[in-house]
Amino acid sequence: VKFSLCSANFGNVSLKKSIERAAELGFDGIEITVMFHARPTINIKERKNIKKWISDSGIECSALHFIFDKDIKLASEDEIDIENSITHIKSVIDLAVDIGTNVIVVGGGGSRSTKSFQNKSEIEKNLIKIFSITGGYALEKNVFLAIEALNRYETNFINTLKEAKHFADKTNCPNIKIMGDTFHMNIEEISIPQAIEETDENLIHLHFADSNRLAPGEGHIDFKSIIHTLKNKIYKGFCSFEVFAISPDLLHFNTYEEADRHMKLGKSFIDKLIQ
């Protein structure tokens, strides 16, 4: 099991500093919060810099996450929205290749939610189309798209790992996989360890946050049995601390010092469980 943390966890500091601090704290990787730290509009020089900061720190880029902003409407019947979504996801795939990661987290709760006036099965058909096309593009570039199950207060589309798997299967793309987030799973799954246990090699990534969205150990989720299950499964993916609210600009921590204290606490809590 490898551990990383999301770059925006450190509050309002630069990406370079988040990368360096993740390495100093003993994390194996950094997950880049795209809409906060590395939008697809950044140029090639900036991409090379990020890649170098990561390799100079001796860690990996575990994934890209928070890839959608409010302009992207995934759940739509409008051809222009669908085209925009496809173009945007392709640009994030190119970004992943340039930064040097092969995992992209597909969250976007608000964006993929269907509205009451929409025809749910029509929207689902469009979502399958969007991800079949971008999944094909990702396959050429050796990138995996990990569909994230999110809780019901963030989306009405894909709340459990089983539903994520069902959707991934419908796209017919071998590189469309699934991921869970302990914060969401605490609300939606009957048992977090059991839900993890029941996945196969399709589970390629995890987000770690406690019941209150703080660092592991600061709420009431039973991380001991989660770690036990992951070790039994010989899970090879990353568990990435994702410690902030539903949008990366709604940071939990205003100061770097406060964020740093929580990351340290979480890391030592997990280190004790992993031994």
Residues in touch with ligand LER (CB under 6 A): 65-66, 105, 107, 148, 150, 154, 181, 207, 242, 246
The least CB distance from residue 67 to ligand LER, in Å, is 8
The least CB distance from residue 108 to ligand LER, in Å, is 6
Q: For ligand LER, which is the closer residue by CB, 165 or 207?
A: 207
The least CB distance from residue 125 to Mn ion, in Å, is 26
Nearest CA to 207 out of 251, 259, 138, 147 is that of: 147
Q: Which partner in ligand LER, Mn ion, none is near 66 (CB below 5 to 8 A by kind)?
A: ligand LER
Q: For Mn ion, which is the closer residue by CB, 21 or 207?
A: 207
Which residues are at the interface with Mn ion (CB under 5 A)?
Answer: 181, 207, 242
Q: Which partner in Mn ion, ligand LER, none is near 238 (CB below 5 to 8 A by kind)?
A: none
Nearest CA to 173 out of 128, 126, 136, 129 is that of: 136
Q: How far is CA 101 from CA 17, 136, 142, 209, in A?
A: 19, 17, 10, 22
Q: For ligand LER, which is the closer residue by CB, 246 or 265?
A: 246
Q: For ligand LER, which is the closer residue by CB, 20 or 66?
A: 66
Q: For ligand LER, which is the closer residue by CB, 28 or 181?
A: 181
The least CB distance from residue 54 to Mn ion, in Å, is 21
Nearest CA to 92 out of 233, 154, 84 is that of: 84
Report the alpha-carbon distance of residue 178 to residue 170 in Å, rounded.
Answer: 13
Q: Which partner in Mn ion, ligand LER, none is near 246 (CB below 5 to 8 A by kind)?
A: ligand LER
Q: For ligand LER, which is the closer residue by CB, 20 or 138?
A: 138
> Which single residue brings its beta carbon nearest to ligand LER?
107
The least CB distance from residue 155 to ligand LER, in Å, is 9
The least CB distance from residue 148 to ligand LER, in Å, is 5
- Which region, left, alpha or beta, applies to residue 11 given φ > 0 means left and ψ of -120 to 50 means alpha? left
